[in-house]
Each structure stands twice: as C-alpha cells, then as structure tokens.
C-alpha cells in the first residue's frame, strides 16, 4: 500500500517513518503528481495557516479535495485535523479547510505552548491506553451526527472518525506507538 504524507511543512518525516516501519510505502507529497497514485493520505501536524497557503500555491488544493471526495482514506493530526474539519474558529480569515469530517474545531483551543500536554487516552478498540501528545492542539467544539468519537480528554473529543476520514487533536507520530497508524492502515486497506 502506498501512503502519501503531505510534506508542505510540519512533522511529515515522523509520519513517513512510522508508516514505513509498519510496512507501507510512504511517500512525501508536494505536488499533484506525487498524489496521483497514493492509496491513502496523511495530513501531518505543523502550522495550519502555512499549510493552507501552500496547498493553494502548490496546486494541491483541488486534487486533494477531489481524491477525498472519491473516498481516499485520510488521517489528519493536529493541523491536519484543522485542515479536514468543517469549520475552524480562531483561524485566519483566508484559511480554508476541506470539510471532510463534520467537526467544528477551535485552533490552539487548549492554549499556548506552555499549556501543551501529554495525557493517557482510552481509545475505542485499543486494549491499552494510548499516550497522547498535545501541542497547541485544536479543541473540537461540535461533533456532527455521522462522526464517531474514539477518544476524549475531559469530555472533549480528541480522536474522531467519519467513514474513511480519521482525525486526532494529538500527535500519534510523536509517541513511539504505532497503533493509531496501524488502525488507519487497516481502514485504508479495507477500503
């Protein structure tokens, strides 16, 4: 299975490493050509405003939207979650998202860097807790009807799924634990 990792900016190299360790062919995606033959896509953490801008200048915005609409399995972490959400609060006015999962999110909703935190998460379908790393993370403020909440922190959803779209407010690529990527590959493989 060939998994693309959006490599415009951010923690893409870490995702590539985790996916490769799981046996997937992981490729960095910077152009529409890179996207053409991937079977799944990861939108990494980083700065969502920067990535939103680079999605336009790279010409990737349209092709990514088209592939998602065609059912491409997608995993978005932190900034990636913001880019996949329906509505974004506290963003820039020119920042655009794909609306691939029916969620409203607030950028940096947990606060600034000094409020960034680690916490153990009970994840639906995983036997042992998953250690979540939250860095200036987005808060989910509304969950649409078709969205399944797979983990929460203090009542706020932090891992959600709708169809083939999976989003995390935290950074599974930072924990040294490949279970969430593994589950995503299972989902993508079944697609």
Partner 1 sequence: MTESNRATGTQLVKRGLAEMLKGGVIMDVVDPTQAKIAEDAGATAVMALERVPADIRRDGGVARMSDPEMIEGIKAAVTIPVMAKARIGHFAEAQVLQALGVDYVDESEVLTPADEAHHIDKWAFTVPFVCGATNLGEALRRISEGACMIRSKGEAGTGNIVEAVRHLRSIIGDIRRITQADQAELFDWAKRLQAPLPLVQEIAQTGELPVPMFCAGGIATPADASLVMQLGAQAVFVGSGIFKSDDPAPRARAIVEATTNFADPTILAKVSRGLGDAMPGLEVGSLETRLADRGW
* Residue ranges that bind partner 1, judged by CB under 8 A: 7-14, 30, 45-47, 49-50, 53-54, 57-58, 78-79, 90-92, 107-108, 112-120, 133-136, 153-155, 171, 174
The dihedrals phi and psi of 124, each to the nearest 5 degrees, come to: -55, 125
Question: Of 82 and 188, which has the nearer Cβ to partner 1?
Answer: 82
What is the C-alpha separation between 79 and 57, in angstroms, rounded? 18
Quick one: 23 or 129, whose CB is closer to partner 1? Answer: 129
Q: Which helix (H) or strand (E) holds 50?
A: helix 48-57
Confirm whether 160 is a catalytic residue: no
Given the residues 78, 128, 131, 160, select the one marked as catalytic. Answer: 78
Cα torsion angle, 135, 20, 51, 76, sign: negative
What are the two backbone dihedrals, phi and then psi, of residue 67, each rounded to the nearest 5 degrees?
-65, -40
Distance (Å, whole) CA 168 – CA 18: 16
Q: How far is the CB of 125 from partner 1 (least distance, A)?
A: 19
Active site residue 171: yes
What's the closest the beta carbon of residue 146 comes to partner 1, in angstroms? 25
User: Which residue, 42 or 188, is less far from partner 1 as judged by CB?
Assistant: 42
Q: Tell me if 179 sits within 8 A of 129, measured CB to CB.
A: no
Least distance in Å: CB of 173 to partner 1?
9
The yes-or-no answer on residue 173 being catalytic is yes
Any idea which residues carry the catalytic annotation?
78, 171, 173
């Amino acid at each position: 299975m060939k998994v693309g990792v959006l490599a415009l900016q951010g923690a893409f190299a870490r995702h590539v490493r985790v996916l490769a360790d799981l046996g997937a062919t992981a490729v960095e995606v910077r152009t529409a050509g890179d996207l053409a033959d991937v079977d799944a896509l990861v939108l990494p953490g980083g700065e969502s405003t920067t990535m939103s801008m680079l999605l336009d200048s790279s010409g990737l915005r349209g092709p990514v939207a088209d592939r998602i609409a065609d059912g491409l399995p997608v995993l978005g972490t932190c900034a990636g979650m913001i880019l996949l959400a329906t509505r974004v609060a506290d963003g820039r006015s020119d920042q655009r998202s794909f609306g691939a999962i029916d969620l409203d999110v607030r950028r940096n909703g947990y606060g600034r860097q000094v409020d960034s935190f680690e916490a153990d998460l009970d994840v639906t379908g995983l036997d042992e807790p998953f250690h979540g790393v939250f860095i200036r993370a987005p808060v989910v403020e509304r969950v649409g009807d078709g969205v399944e909440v797979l983990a929460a922190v203090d009542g706020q959803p932090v891992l959600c799924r709708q169809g083939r779209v999976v989003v995390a407010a935290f950074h599974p690529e930072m924990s040294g634990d490949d279970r969430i990527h593994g589950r995503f590959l299972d989902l993508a493989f079944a697609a």
